[in-house]
Structure 1
Amino acid sequence: MPETAKHPPSTAPGAPDRERAGMPWGSVLRNLALVLTVLVMVWLVLHVKLPSVGTLQAEIAELGAWGPLLFIALYAVVAVTPIPVTIMAVAGGMIFGLPVGTALSLLGVVIGCYGGYGIARVLGRETVMRLLGSHAEVVEDRLGDGGFYAVCTLRLIPGIPYWPVNYGSGALGITSRDFLLATVLSALPGQLSLVAVGTFLAAPTLWNGIAVGLSWAAVIVLTLVAYRRWRAARR
């Protein structure tokens, strides 16, 4: 007696699908993180107003030895957000003078920049590119195949804020070592030039004026050097 042919199970359209795709929780969480991050940044930009230099100077003086720590903490928070860091560096020069103001400003900006870098590593590339908005194309073009010199170049070019470089570096796979080293080395001349401006505003002496000129000249020269090295590295 011949065997009865075995038929495969029904795959009619009405049959229940036993292998339904699960909920893409990774995508949902990343989009939720994007929304929350954007909302927090928008709120900070619209509602958080940095105190005037005079108010900041008085508050730091009242804290005594804790004052520099407050300045570093406030600077780090500003560096994580789209709020421009310029006023903090200029305030550092007016309050602490050139050497101390530069050291404190550099500490604050590096801590804040690394905080943004870490946030971007958590959010992921797709989410961060959406977050960067109009800055995404420039950041991706410069950092996509770059590394140390790419971060240096973007840090030094006037007009490019710090925060897109921080988030772009984390999203596009710049190593932590390259990011930190490039940030320290390239942020130093920029911070020095801004702190020098603050120092000159507080005490418009000849030496402080020379410091402003020399520091800005250093920024221009280093920008050209970093740009050439970055172009050579991409060839």
Structure 2
Amino acid sequence: MTTLQIRLLAIIAIAIGAFFLFDLDQWLTLERVKAESARLTAYRDAHPLLATLTYAAIYIAVTGLSLPGATVLTLAGGALFGLLWGTLIVSFASSIGATLAFLAARFLFRDTVAARFGDRLAAIDAGLAKDGPYYLFTLRLVPLFPFFAINLAMGLTSIKTLTFYWVSQVGMLAGTLVYVNAGTQLAKVDSMSGILSPPLVGAFALLGLFPLAAKKLLEILPR
């Protein structure tokens, strides 16, 4: 590793360590957000622009550092800003944070992984060069795949940063809408597991697989 890589890794490690050392994770629980809802709403009413910027910055930091709490923050976005603005803010904040995590993984670990698993990584890169946006879109739509794991794994590939960003933003939009909408009725949300029903997860999976299946079908059809 270069000196710059070591410094960046140290900064990330310190930030993550401080998050847990000072128990900041307790603020990113469903129970805490519901308990503080009235105070947060009052602050938003008094300082709308500052509240928006602060919320977006926290969301970007949490997702960029791959910390737990993004789902709760999405619910909070719905509760604080409503469906339209909440979706807009979360969509950009989550995509920016995901891209930062993606870039960090690429800068810190891509060369190391390539040196050790060069042949395998080359094969993966070849597949992603052809179908990368479709695979990423499917992964983003299916809630079974962890948000942070996709960011880090894609950072180890050769997929272009701009492609990663816009496909992530489009692919995560449906899930964002569901959680932000649930957040607008925060008082009625008793658990995170009840937000996404099995039929809804299945619908997301089918929606995510459709572009890839359509592309494959077009490739095998006679021209």
The alpha carbon displacement at 1:44 in A equals 5.5
Partner Cα separation in structure 2 for residue 36 and residue 176 of structure 1? 24
| 8 Å CA contact retained: 1:93, 1:198 | yes
Provide the residue aligned with 2:176 in structure 1.
Answer: 191
- Structure 2 gap ranges (5+): 115-120, 190-196
Partner Cα separation in structure 1 for residue 145 and residue 219 of structure 2? 21
Partner Cα separation in structure 2 for residue 55 and residue 145 of structure 1? 47
Give the count of matched residue pairs. Answer: 194
Provide the residue aligned with 1:39 in structure 2.
Answer: 13
What letter corresponds to residue 161 of structure 2 in structure 1? S
Establish whether residue 168 from structure 1 lines up as the match of residue 153 from structure 2: yes
Distance 1:180 1:202, change over 3 A: same
| Identity score, percent | 25
Distance 1:216 1:142, change over 3 A: farther
Partner of residue 138 from structure 2, selected from 138, 150, 153: 153
Establish whether residue 119 from structure 1 lines up as the match of residue 104 from structure 2: yes
Partner Cα separation in structure 2 for residue 195 and residue 183 of structure 1? 17
Partner of residue 49 from structure 1, selected from 21, 25, 29: 25
Provide the residue aligned with 1:134 in structure 2.
Answer: none
Partner Cα separation in structure 2 for residue 81 and residue 178 of structure 1? 21
- Structure 1 gap ranges (5+): 1-26, 130-138, 205-211
Provide the residue aligned with 1:200 in structure 2.
Answer: 185
The structure with more radius of gyration: 1
The alpha carbon displacement at 1:168 in A equals 2.2
Partner Cα separation in structure 1 for residue 108 and residue 202 of structure 2? 37
Provide the residue aligned with 1:135 in structure 2.
Answer: none
TM-score (norm 1): 0.65
CA offsets per residue over residues 22-76 of structure 1, 9 Å max, x none? xxxxx35487368637734752663431522243662463251211111111111
Establish whether residue 225 from structure 1 lines up as the match of residue 210 from structure 2: yes
Establish whether residue 74 from structure 1 lines up as the match of residue 58 from structure 2: yes
Higher RCO (CA 8 Å, separation ≥ 6 residues): 2
The alpha carbon displacement at 1:105 in A equals 1.0
Q: Which has the higher helix share?
A: 2
CA offsets per residue over residues 144-191 of structure 1, 9 Å max, x none? 722211211221222322222222222211112211110110011111
Range with greater deviation from structure 2 (96-105 or 48-57): 48-57
Distance 1:161 1:214, change over 3 A: closer
Instruction: Find the residue that maps to 2:36 and give its secondary structure.
Output: helix
